[in-house]
Amino acid sequence: MEGIMLKKSRQLKRLLDSKQLEFLMEAHDGLSAKIVEEANFRGIWASGLCISASLGVRDNNEASWTQVLEVVEFMSDATAIPILLDADTGYGNFNNVRRLVRKLEQRGVAGMCIEDKLFPKTNSYISSEKQPLADIDEFCGKIKAAKDSQQDIDFCTIARVEAFIVGWGLAEALRRAEAYHDAGADGILIHSKLSVPDQVLAFMKEWKDTCPVVIVPTTYYSTPSQVFAEGGVSVVIWANQLLRSSISAMQRTSVKLYKEQTLLAVEKEIVPVKEVFRLQNADELKAAELRYLPAFDSSMQSQKE
Amino acid sequence: MEGIMLKKSRQLKRLLDSKQLEFLMEAHDGLSAKIVEEANFRGIWASGLCISASLGVRDNNEASWTQVLEVVEFMSDATAIPILLDADTGYGNFNNVRRLVRKLEQRGVAGMCIEDKLFPKTNSYISSEKQPLADIDEFCGKIKAAKDSQQDIDFCTIARVEAFIVGWGLAEALRRAEAYHDAGADGILIHSKLSVPDQVLAFMKEWKDTCPVVIVPTTYYSTPSQVFAEGGVSVVIWANQLLRSSISAMQRTSVKLYKEQTLLAVEKEIVPVKEVFRLQNADELKAAELRYLPAFDSSMQSQKE
Amino acid sequence: MEGIMLKKSRQLKRLLDSKQLEFLMEAHDGLSAKIVEEANFRGIWASGLCISASLGVRDNNEASWTQVLEVVEFMSDATAIPILLDADTGYGNFNNVRRLVRKLEQRGVAGMCIEDKLFPKTNSYISSEKQPLADIDEFCGKIKAAKDSQQDIDFCTIARVEAFIVGWGLAEALRRAEAYHDAGADGILIHSKLSVPDQVLAFMKEWKDTCPVVIVPTTYYSTPSQVFAEGGVSVVIWANQLLRSSISAMQRTSVKLYKEQTLLAVEKEIVPVKEVFRLQNADELKAAELRYLPAFDSSMQSQKE
Amino acid sequence: MEGIMLKKSRQLKRLLDSKQLEFLMEAHDGLSAKIVEEANFRGIWASGLCISASLGVRDNNEASWTQVLEVVEFMSDATAIPILLDADTGYGNFNNVRRLVRKLEQRGVAGMCIEDKLFPKTNSYISSEKQPLADIDEFCGKIKAAKDSQQDIDFCTIARVEAFIVGWGLAEALRRAEAYHDAGADGILIHSKLSVPDQVLAFMKEWKDTCPVVIVPTTYYSTPSQVFAEGGVSVVIWANQLLRSSISAMQRTSVKLYKEQTLLAVEKEIVPVKEVFRLQNADELKAAELRYLPAFDSSMQSQKE
CA distances (Å), origin A58, targets B70, B276, C126, D27, D223: 16, 10, 35, 39, 60
Q: What is the mean pLDDT of residues A171-190?
A: 98
For chain D, the three-class secondary structure string (H helix, E strand, C coil) is CCCCCCCHHHHHHHHHHCCCCEEEEEECCHHHHHHHHHCCCCCEEECHHHHHHHHCCCCCCCCCHHHHHHHHHHHHHCCCCCEEEECCCCCCCHHHHHHHHHHHHHCCCCEEEEECCCCCCCCCCCCCCCCCCCCHHHHHHHHHHHHHHCCCCCCEEEEEECCCCCCCCHHHHHHHHHHHHHHCCCEEEECCCCCCCHHHHHHHHHHCCCCCEEECCCCCCCCCHHHHHHHCCCEEEECCHHHHHHHHHHHHHHHHHHHHCCHHHCHHHCCCHHHHHHHCCHHHHHHHHHHHCCCCCHHHCCCCC
Stated as kind and residue range, the H or E segment containing C115 is strand C111-115
Q: Is A293 on the interface with D (CB under 8 A)?
A: yes
**Prior bond to B120 cis, omega within 30?**
yes
Q: What is the mean pLDDT of residues C197-215?
A: 96
B292:C107 CB<8 A: no
Q: How confident is the model at residue A297 (pLDDT cuts 50, 70, 90)?
A: low
- What average pLDDT does chain B have? 94
Whether the CB-CB separation of C173 and C200 falls below 8 Å is answered with: no
Q: What is the mean pLDDT of residues B182-196?
A: 98
Q: How confident is the model at residue D165 (pLDDT cuts 50, 70, 90)?
A: very high
Greater confidence, A193 or C129? A193
Out of A166-170, A296-300, B241-245, C158-162, least confident range: A296-300
Q: Is A119 on the interface with C (CB under 8 A)?
A: yes
pLDDT in the model for residue C209:
86
Nearest CA in chain B to C292: B141
Distance CA C70, CA C208 (A): 37
- What average pLDDT does chain A have? 94
In chain B, residues with a C-beta closer than 8 Å to the C-beta of C296 are: none
**Nearby residues of A226 by Cβ (< 8 Å), 6 or more positions away:** none
Q: How confident is the model at residue C276 (pLDDT cuts 50, 70, 90)?
A: very high
Residue A114 phi, psi (nearest 5):
-115, 145
D31:C54 CB<8 A: yes
Burial code (b: 16+ CB inside 10 Å, e: under 16) for A269-279 equals ebbebeebbeb
Interface chains of chain B (3 or more CB pairs under 8 Å): A, C, D
Distance CA B188, CA C253 (A): 55
Distance CA A300, CA A290 (A): 19
pLDDT in the model for residue D148:
98
Q: What is the mean pLDDT of residues D175-188?
A: 98
**Nearby residues of A148 by Cβ (< 8 Å), 6 or more positions away:** A98
C142:B95 CB<8 A: no
Q: Which residues pair with C26 in a beta bridge?
A: C45
CA distances (Å), origin A57, targets A244, C38, C95: 15, 39, 12
Can C59 be counted among the known catalytic residues? yes
Q: How confident is the model at residue C122 (pLDDT cuts 50, 70, 90)?
A: confident
Q: Is B287 on the interface with C (CB under 8 A)?
A: no
- What average pLDDT does chain C have? 94
Distance CA A165, CA C213 (A): 45
CA distance A105 to chain D (A): 9
Is D3 a residue whose pLDDT tops 60?
Answer: no
| Least CB–CB distance from D60: residue in C241, C245, C285 | C285
Whether the CB-CB separation of A43 and A83 falls below 8 Å is answered with: yes
Nearest CA in chain D to A96: D285
Q: Which residues pair with B46 in a beta bridge?
A: B27, B85
Distance CA A166, CA B289 (A): 18
Burial category of D73 from C-beta neighbours within 10 Å (exposed 0-12, middle 13-18, buried 19 and up): buried
pLDDT in the model for residue A5:
81
Whether the CB-CB separation of D188 and D181 falls below 8 Å is answered with: yes
Distance of CA C167 to the CA centre of its chain: 25
In chain C, residues with a C-beta closer than 8 Å to the C-beta of A66 are: 64, 66-67
Q: What is the mean pLDDT of residues C166-194?
A: 97
Distance CA A247, CA B253 (A): 12
Is D2 a residue whose pLDDT tops 80?
Answer: no
**N-to-C CA span, chain B:** 46
Is B95 a residue whose pLDDT tops 80?
Answer: yes
For C55-86, the three-class secondary structure string (H helix, E strand, C coil) is HCCCCCCCCCHHHHHHHHHHHHHCCCCCEEEE
Total-model pTM? 0.96
Distance CA C136, CA C144 (A): 12
pLDDT in the model for residue B296:
60
Q: What is the mean pLDDT of residues D232-252?
A: 98
Local structure of B51: helix, strand or coil: helix
Q: What is the mean pLDDT of residues D243-249?
A: 98
pLDDT in the model for residue D301:
43
Burial category of D305 from C-beta neighbours within 10 Å (exposed 0-12, middle 13-18, buried 19 and up): exposed
Local structure of B243: helix, strand or coil: helix
> What are the residue numbers of the active site of A?
59
pLDDT in the model for residue A4:
63
CA distance C289 to chain B (A): 8
Q: What is the mean pLDDT of residues B252-263?
A: 98
Handedness of CA A15, A20, A26, A27 (dihedral sign): negative
Is D299 a residue whose pLDDT tops 80?
Answer: no
Is A229 a residue whose pLDDT tops 60?
Answer: yes
CA distances (Å), origin B97, targets A188, B76, D190: 50, 19, 32
pLDDT in the model for residue D240:
98
Distance CA C62, CA D77 (A): 12
pLDDT in the model for residue C126:
83
**N-to-C CA span, chain A:** 46
Greater confidence, B208 or D173? D173
Half-sphere exposure of A59 (CA within 13 A, CB side): 26
Q: Is A292 on the interface with D (CB under 8 A)?
A: yes
Give strand ranges (E) for chain A. 22-27, 44-46, 83-86, 111-115, 156-161, 187-190, 213-215, 235-238
Distance CA C270, CA C85 (A): 30
Out of A3-12, B47-56, C286-295, least confident range: A3-12
Is A265 a residue whose pLDDT tops 80?
Answer: yes
- Please report how the helices B65-77 and B94-106 are oriented relative to each other, as an axis angle in degrees rounded to 10: 20
**Nearby residues of A188 by Cβ (< 8 Å), 6 or more positions away:** A158, A159, A160, A161, A177, A180, A181, A207, A211, A212, A213, A214
- What percentage of chain C carries pLDDT values higher than 90? 90
C145-177 pLDDT tens trace = 999 999 999 999 999 999 999 999 999 999 999
Distance CA C162, CA C159 (A): 10
Q: How confident is the model at residue D124 (pLDDT cuts 50, 70, 90)?
A: confident
- What percentage of chain B carries pLDDT values higher than 90? 90
Which of the residues B17, B29, B59, B283 is marked catalytic?
B59
pLDDT in the model for residue C124:
87
Give strand ranges (E) for chain B. 22-27, 44-46, 83-86, 111-115, 156-161, 187-190, 213-215, 235-238
pLDDT in the model for residue C251:
98
C32-45 pLDDT tens trace = 999 999 999 999 99
CA distance A176 to chain B (A): 14
Q: Which of C48, C138, C31 is nearest to C87 (CA)?
A: C48
CA distances (Å), origin A64, targets B143, B186, B290: 35, 36, 24
Local structure of B238: helix, strand or coil: strand
Is D300 a residue whose pLDDT tops 70?
Answer: no
C305:D276 CB<8 A: no
pLDDT in the model for residue D42:
98
In this structure, how many other beta carbons lie within 10 angstroms of the beta carbon of residue C23?
18
Burial category of A88 from C-beta neighbours within 10 Å (exposed 0-12, middle 13-18, buried 19 and up): buried
Whether the CB-CB separation of B184 and B140 falls below 8 Å is answered with: no
Q: How confident is the model at residue B129 (pLDDT cuts 50, 70, 90)?
A: low
pLDDT in the model for residue C188:
98
> What is the residue type of A288?
A
Say what the ipTM of the complex is.
0.95
CA distance B57 to chain D (A): 10
Is C270 a residue whose pLDDT tops 90?
Answer: yes
Which of the residues D17, D29, D59, D148 is marked catalytic?
D59
Q: What is the mean pLDDT of residues D141-168?
A: 97
Is C212 a residue whose pLDDT tops 60?
Answer: yes
Is B43 a residue whose pLDDT tops 80?
Answer: yes
